Structure 1
Amino acid sequence: MSENVNDFTSLYRYFQDPESLKLFTTEELNALESENKVIELNKGDYILEEGHASNGVYLVTHGTAKLFKVGFTGKEQIIRFLKKGDLIGYRSILSGQPFGATATALEPMTLEFIPERFFLKMLQHNSKMSFEMLKMISKQLGDAADTITILAQKTVRERLAEILIMLEETLGIDDEGYIRISLRREEMANLIGTATESAIRLISEFKTDELIEVKGRKIKILEHQRIRKLGHVDA
């Protein structure tokens, strides 16, 4: 099995591996085949909502979503973006708590749904899968710590530079070189922890300095080395 700590797809393959599936009874296998399903979503559709109970996990096989919480003022705080290979809902299942955030599709998406009881049984009885899961969770905890450091110790200009690099590395680029996501200026401001007006001004400054190219809501990094230096991001 693959051990890519950035991609949960390897975990889903255990549910397609005949050797791994031997731990299930015939009745369980029939139920798994019946309940395991492919879900198609449109832009804006909810994958999960904060406060709701979980009944399984969702593997992203196509598309992008945003994971966010809503503060007491009603303002969204984006936690991270979800892409192909990401697993959604496992923290709720493992902790026995409701979803701690909301996830909505940013474009048409395809998800693979695995019911809770089958996911937990495989995790409990398959040590290889459990170890891979631990590695992936550890990677996400490290990413969360990095995000806290960015917001706490860097200037807004430095944060924008690092966020642009992070978005490109996480989501990739299209055929024209633009980052594969279309964000409103309010969402970009949310990501870098500043007011919308400040985000608009900074993006305009980056464009004037020929660090980036902007087309509508899409951004292309033109000067990667300068952006990395500005954001104190290692190459």
Structure 2
Amino acid sequence: MRGITTDCTSCINANCFIKKHLHLEKMQDFVLEKTNYTCKKGQQFMIEGAPMQGLYFIYKGKVKVLKTGIYGKEQIVRLTTDGDTLGFRGFGTSNRYLVAASAIEDTVLCNFSNDVMHSILKSIPEFTYDMMLFYAEELNKSENRVKKIAQMNVRERVIDILLYLLKKFGHTNNLLNINLSRKEIADFAGTTDEQVTRILSSLKKEGVIKIVNKKIGLLQVDKLNNEIIEHK
């Protein structure tokens, strides 16, 4: 990964955990100890089972978080973008990354080492308290997702993911601002590429989505929402 330099003060990611606490006097010293990296599309920067190298915060870009399932099949467990935090699942417990992460597009990362993160947590109570709430929220999201996946059929899971992508990344000219391959959608939905292709083709014929140069657009969001409303 190639290193660059970013400035936390001028960062526009209001949801970044570091940015939110930049007003605290003690944080000013810690942000000077961060390291920046640029990852090319497809480059993996966190390896499942590898020793922790601190937490990553996305300055700009998109990243998929992966977990290896049975028979070595990858499962996408989370999609992230500007301001999101990565690597927290193994922090302070196993000291190893419990998931992997790779860039969906060229991505700029801010990294705070294990030692720096431990120092922040020990010296800034407000940051530590907010981190605890963050963990609780992420656990709740994870549990809700597991519940939904267990109760939905494959078509509903694909629709749920399309709506999630719209909410998370937004759209431009009615096309989602993230371009996932059919395999990536399948890895997120817990199904096969073939199933995803058939479902997307069916949704296109029904006029609820459009596909332009492999990019997906949602044309009838209300109709898609109604199809999975019982799982909300």
Fold similarity call, TM over 0.5: yes
Q: Which residue of 2 aligns with 1:202?
A: 199
Q: Which residue of 2 aligns with 1:107?
A: 105
Partners of 2:167 and 2:24 in 1: how far apart?
A: 35
The structure where helix makes up a greater share of residues is: 1
In 1, are the aligned partners of 2:90 and 2:96 still within 8 Å (CA)? yes
Kindly state the Cα deviation for residue 124 of structure 1 after the two structures are TM-superposed.
2.1
Kindly state the Cα deviation for residue 38 of structure 1 after the two structures are TM-superposed.
1.6
**Paired residue type of 1:138:** A
Q: Which residue of 2 aligns with 1:20?
A: 26
- Amino-acid identity (%): 25
| Aligned pair partner of 2:18 in 3, 11, 20 | 11
In 1, are the aligned partners of 2:148 and 2:231 still within 8 Å (CA)? no
Kindly state the Cα deviation for residue 21 of structure 1 after the two structures are TM-superposed.
4.0
Q: Structure 2: 5+ residue runs without aligned partners?
A: 1-12
Kindly state the Cα deviation for residue 55 of structure 1 after the two structures are TM-superposed.
2.4
In 2, are the aligned partners of 1:11 and 1:133 still within 8 Å (CA)? no
Partners of 1:42 and 1:233 in 2: how far apart?
A: 40
Partners of 1:70 and 1:204 in 2: how far apart?
A: 28
Mark the CA change 1:207 to 1:116 in structure 2 (over 3 Å): closer, same or farther.
same
**Paired residue type of 2:210:** E
Q: TM-score, normalised by structure 1?
A: 0.85
Q: Which moved more, 1:204-213 or 1:117-126?
A: 117-126
Mark the CA change 1:32 to 1:209 in structure 2 (over 3 Å): closer, same or farther.
closer
| Aligned pair partner of 1:231 in 225, 228, 232 | 228
Q: What is the 5 A alignment of 1:24-63?
A: 29=29, 33=32, 35-63=33-61
Q: Which residue of 2 aligns with 1:95?
A: 93
CA RMSD, Structure 1 to Structure 2 (Å): 2.3
Partners of 1:59 and 1:70 in 2: how far apart?
A: 22
**Paired residue type of 1:201:** R
- Aligned residue pairs, count: 220
Kindly state the Cα deviation for residue 19 of structure 1 after the two structures are TM-superposed.
1.6
Q: TM-score, normalised by structure 2?
A: 0.86
Partners of 2:98 and 2:231 in 1: how far apart?
A: 32
Q: Which residue of 2 aligns with 1:161?
A: 159
Q: Structure 1: 5+ residue runs without aligned partners?
A: 1-5, 23-28
Q: Which residue of 1 aligns with 2:141?
A: 143
